[in-house]
Amino acid sequence: MVHACANVSNVSATKRIAVIAGDGIGKEVIPQALKVMVAASASVELTSFDW
């Protein structure tokens, strides 16, 4: 049985994520993390930003 919060009217199953690779290891890790989300068929909306 799934219960919804009474005070949250429109919660979307799709999550919005800001993608910022940054510096350091981010330039290597973020692209791989995005591949994982795609492979997992995650319900996400990605927006990429420059560092």
d(Cα 12, Cα 20) in Å, to the nearest integer? 22
| Res 7 pLDDT > 70 | no
- For the segment 1-14, the average pLDDT, to the nearest whole number, is 64
Domain coordinates in residue numbering, the chain: 15-49
Nearest CA-CA partner of 14 in 47, 51, 48, 50: 47
| Res 13 pLDDT > 90 | no
> What tens digit of pLDDT does each residue of 18-50 get?
999 888 888 899 999 999 999 999 999 999 998
Contacts of 42 (CB under 8 A, 6+ apart): 15
pLDDT computed for residue 23 by the predictor? 83
Model confidence, pTM = 0.63
